[in-house]
C-alpha cells in the first residue's frame, strides 16, 4: 500500500507557540512510518511558513523552556485550488508534492480558533480536528458556554467584559455576584495562558490587566470547588468517549507551567478513581457537549466534579496538547488505543470527513 503524505503544521503566532513545538515533536516521533511519510511545516512567531527538515526542525528539542523552531531558508505559501496544488515554494512558486492530509497541531489563536481550518478548507485539504465553526466556537469561552447552557449542561457562573468596558469593571460587584476566589480568563486563549485565580481586590485588577493582554474580551468566573476531571472524545458522526482522568495539581491551579514545563507540577490519575456511574455520566455529557458544539475528529472535555457529585463542564479543547505529559493521548492509551494508533485514527477520520464533504453538491447544476 502506498504511504500517505502527512503535512504536520506547527508553531504559530500565538502564546502557545512553544507548546505546539512540543506537540509536533511527539507526533513526529510516534507516527507510523510504515503508513505515513511526514512533511514538516513550521510557522514562526512572525507568521512565516517554513518547510523544515525532520532532522533539524527544532532547537533545544528536549528542553521545554528553551525549545525553538529552527527556521529554514525554504518558505512556502498555501493556495486555493485542486489538491495537488495546495502548497508552493515562496521563492519560485514551484509546487510541493501533494499532501494527502494535514495535521494542524497549532495551539491557540490563529491555530485552533478556525482561522487555519478555514484556510485549509478553502485549499481543499483534508485536516485533522474539528471544522471551522466548532473550532471558533470552542475557542471562545463565552460563546461556547452559552451554547452548552442552552443544551442543559452545567457550567460555572461568569461575567463577560470587553476592553471598551474596562473602566466600568468593579471588584465588589463581581465578588458579590460570583463570590471569592474568582478566575479571570481571556475569552480566546488556551493552555491556561493569561488566567489568574484571585481573592483580593488588588489581585482582581491585576488579573483583569493580565487577561486583557491576550484578548479584547475576558471572562470572570466563580470558583467551583471540585475535582478536575477530563475526558477525551474521538470520532466524526459517531463520537466515543475515553475513560476519565483526574488532574491533581501541586500548585494553586493547573497552570501553563504545570501542563508543559514542570513534569512534577501535577499528578495525572489515569484512570480517575470515580464510580462507574459517575464515569458514565461524565462520558455522556462529554459526547453531548462534543455534538452540541459541532465537533468532529477530537476534543478534550474538562469538568469539575463536586463533593456531592454534581458535574460542571469547564472547557472543550479542540486541539489539546499532544506532549508526552498531555492528558488527551494518555486517556486513549489507558482506554486501549495507543499513541501511534490514535494518530493514525485521527488521520483516517480527517480523510473520511473530507471525502464525505466532497460528496455534497456545490452548485444547483451539479
Cβ atoms of 28 and 54 closer than 8 Å: yes
Residue 152 has pLDDT above 90, yes or no: yes
- Identify the pLDDT of residue 262: 54
Q: What percent of the chain has pLDDT over 90?
A: 78
Read off the pLDDT band of 251 (50, 70, 90): low
Of the listed ranges 167-176, 197-206, 318-327, the one predicted with least confidence: 318-327
Residue 318 has pLDDT above 80, yes or no: yes
Residue 42 has pLDDT above 70, yes or no: yes
Give the cell for residue 157.
457562573
Read off the pLDDT band of 355 (50, 70, 90): very high
Residue 350 has pLDDT above 90, yes or no: yes
Collapsing DSSP to helix, strand or coil, 188 comes out as coil
pLDDT in tens, 281-293: 999 999 999 999 9
Burial 24-37 (b: 16+ CB within 10 A, else e): bbbbbebbeeebbb
Give the cell for residue 326.
498531555
Residue 311 has pLDDT above 80, yes or no: yes
Burial category of 213 from C-beta neighbours within 10 Å (exposed 0-12, middle 13-18, buried 19 and up):
exposed
Task: State how far the Cα of 38 lies from the Cα of 31, in Å rounded to an integer.
Answer: 9
Domains of the chain: 4-127 (3.40.50.20), 157-222 (3.30.1490.20), 227-356 (3.30.470.20)
Which whole number is the average pLDDT over 175-180? Answer: 97
Amino acid at each position: 500500500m502506498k504511504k500517505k503524505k502527512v503535512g504536520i503544521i506547527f508553531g504559530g503566532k500565538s502564546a502557545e507557540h512553544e507548546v505546539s513545538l512540543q506537540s509536533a515533536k511527539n507526533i513526529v516521533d510516534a507516527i507510523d512510518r510504515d503508513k505515513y511519510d511526514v512533511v514538516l511545516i513550521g510557522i514562526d512567531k512572525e507568521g512565516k511558513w517554513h518547510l523544515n527538515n525532520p532532522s533539524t526542525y527544532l532547537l533545544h528539542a528536549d528542553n521545554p523552556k528553551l525549545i525553538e523552531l529552527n527556521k529554514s531558508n525554504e518558505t512556502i505559501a498555501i493556495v486555493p485550488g485542486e489538491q495537488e496544488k495546495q502548497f508552493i515554494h515562496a521563492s519560485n512558486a514551484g509546487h510541493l508534492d501533494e499532501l494527502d492530509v494535514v495535521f494542524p497541531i497549532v495551539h491557540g489563536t490563529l491555530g485552533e480558533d478556525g482561522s487555519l481550518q478555514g484556510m485549509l478548507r478553502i485549499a481543499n485539504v483534508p485536516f485533522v480536528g474539528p471544522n471551522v465553526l466548532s473550532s471558533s466556537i470552542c475557542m471562545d469561552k463565552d460563546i461556547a458556554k452559552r451554547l452548552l447552557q442552552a443544551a442543559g449542561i452545567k457550567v460555572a457562573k461568569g461575567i463577560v467584559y470587553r476592553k471598551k468596558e474596562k473602566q466600568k469593571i468593579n471588584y465588589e460587584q463581581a465578588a458579590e455576584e460570583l463570590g471569592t476566589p474568582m478566575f479571570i480568563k481571556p475569552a480566546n486563549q488556551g493552555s491556561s495562558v493569561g488566567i489568574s485565580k484571585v481573592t483580593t481586590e488588588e489581585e482582581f485588577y491585576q488579573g483583569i490587566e493580565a487577561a486583557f493582554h491576550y484578548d479584547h474580551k475576558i471572562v470572570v468566573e466563580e470558583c467551583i470547588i471540585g475535582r478536575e476531571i477530563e475526558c477525551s472524545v474521538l470520532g466524526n458522526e459517531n463520537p466515543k468517549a475515553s475513560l476519565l482522568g483526574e488532574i491533581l495539581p501541586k500548585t494553586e491551579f493547573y497552570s501553563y507551567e504545570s501542563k508543559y514545563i514542570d513534569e512534577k507540577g501535577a499528578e495525572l490519575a489515569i484512570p480517575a478513581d470515580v464510580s462507574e456511574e459517575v464515569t458514565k455520566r461524565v462520558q455522556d455529557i462529554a459526547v453531548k457537549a462534543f455534538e452540541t458544539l459541532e465537533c468532529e475528529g477530537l476534543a478534550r472535555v474538562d469538568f469539575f466534579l463536586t463533593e456531592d457529585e454534581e458535574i460542571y463542564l469547564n472547557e472543550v479543547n479542540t486541539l489539546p496538547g499532544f506532549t508526552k505529559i498531555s492528558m488527551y493521548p494518555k486517556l486513549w492509551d489507558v482506554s486501549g488505543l495507543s499513541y501511534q494508533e490514535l494518530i493514525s485514527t485521527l488521520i483516517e477520520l480527517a480523510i473520511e470527513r473530507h471525502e464525505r464533504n466532497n460528496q455534497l453538491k456545490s452548485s444547483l447544476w451539479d
